[in-house]
Amino acid sequence: MRRVSFIFCSWLLSLSVAPVEAGLFDNVFQNTSDCCIDSCCDDTSYWDECVDSCCDDGCCGCGGDDLLLGIFASSDHCFDDFISPMTNPVFFEDPRTLTELRPIYIHHVVPQGVGGGEINLMAVQIRAALTDRLSLVAAKDGYLTSSNAVIDDGWADVALGLKYTVLRDTCSGKLLSVGASYEMPVGSHTAAQGNGDGEFHLYATGGTRIGDNMHYLAAAGLRLPADAADESKSMYLSQHLDYMVSKKFYLLTEMNWFSWFQGGNRGVPGLPSVEGLDFFNLGAPDVAGNNIVTMAWGAKYKPTCNQEIGLAYEIPISSRNDVISNRLTIDYIVRY
């Protein structure tokens, strides 16, 4: 863990001393530096009205009153300078209230010790704001293809839940949300899905601006299977740090810590102490006390303020790696 902390802090230090374009954050919202950045911070309740009144073409403002399909509210655009996390995509939830579609492609390389080969996942996440603080989150679905000796092609389980924003400070750029979801065991057994009676996910996620050009996000959660004999219990901590090079281009790094505190009674034959990281729950019996830490580096491009295109490369940096040699994640977000 000391090695993990050193790498993460070193990256943070390198960004903090890098040259920064003067007034970069002032231009996140076009033509708003006089009104919204300065005046509105004196009264945070005025921020929404101020952004709407000051922004013109090319800026999303803070959303409108129109409901998508007559049901769903717009995303919280007062935090459009933030970007969503990339890795641990099923569980590392963005703290903002969002209405969006997020297609994801993951290319995952499996170590030879657990069958080798590659797993490719294609999925679409859906988030829908029900109010300005409450949103519906469908974070897991999709289809995977595999050349691994243990996991075959098939459909993923489907997870659905709710997220609520408990802290929202537009002036300081601080957010905190809590949520819960249930993963329905409807996937293909050939793809190590559809096991047990499903899994509950309880989590908290937050974020803050750091200075004029950086953002920090963190999330922690518990994975609690409904059938403890068939699936393992675990927890995670994910962290994200990004550097806003410009309004459209970001550099990012992320770190994920996965820890198992109770195994199941199933697992993969011959691999009693190997678990499935974030996407799989193998129910291995001898995993209590196991820890895996991964590190990722990547970038995001925002062609408009309601779109994101991201890429991240992830590797394990702990002594254990279980099912991951490396992973490439690509996502595209279109947001209402």
Q: How does pLDDT run across 117-165, given as a tens digit for each residue?
A: 999 999 999 999 999 999 999 999 999 999 999 999 999 999 999 999 9
Which residues does 139 contact at the CB level (< 8 Å), separation at least 6?
Answer: 89, 90, 91, 93, 125, 159, 161, 181
Which residues does 17 contact at the CB level (< 8 Å), separation at least 6?
Answer: none
Mean pLDDT of 38-44: 36
Over residues 162-188, the pLDDT tens digits come to 999 999 998 889 999 999 999 999 999
257 sits in which H/E element: strand 249-262
CA distances from 151 to 12, 16, 172, 193 (A): 37, 43, 46, 10
Please report the beta strands in 96-194, taking only residues with DSSP state E, as ranges in sequence order: 100-109, 118-129, 134-140, 143-146, 154-155, 158-169, 174-184
Copy the structure tokens of residue 96. 């903002």
pLDDT band at 323 (very low <50, low <70, confident <90, very high): very high
Task: For the chain, give the mean pLDDT.
Answer: 84
Strand-pairing partners, residue 118, are 109
SS3 content of the chain, % helix, strand, coil (to 5): 15, 45, 45
Block residue for tokens 């004999």: 229
Domain boundaries, the chain: 2-335
pLDDT at 272 over 50: yes
Over residues 214-251, the pLDDT tens digits come to 999 999 999 999 999 999 999 999 999 999 999 899 99
CA distances from 4 to 218, 242, 254, 319 (A): 15, 17, 11, 11
pLDDT band at 315 (very low <50, low <70, confident <90, very high): very high
pLDDT band at 304 (very low <50, low <70, confident <90, very high): confident
**Homologous superfamily of domain range 2-335:** monomeric porin ompg (2.40.160.40)
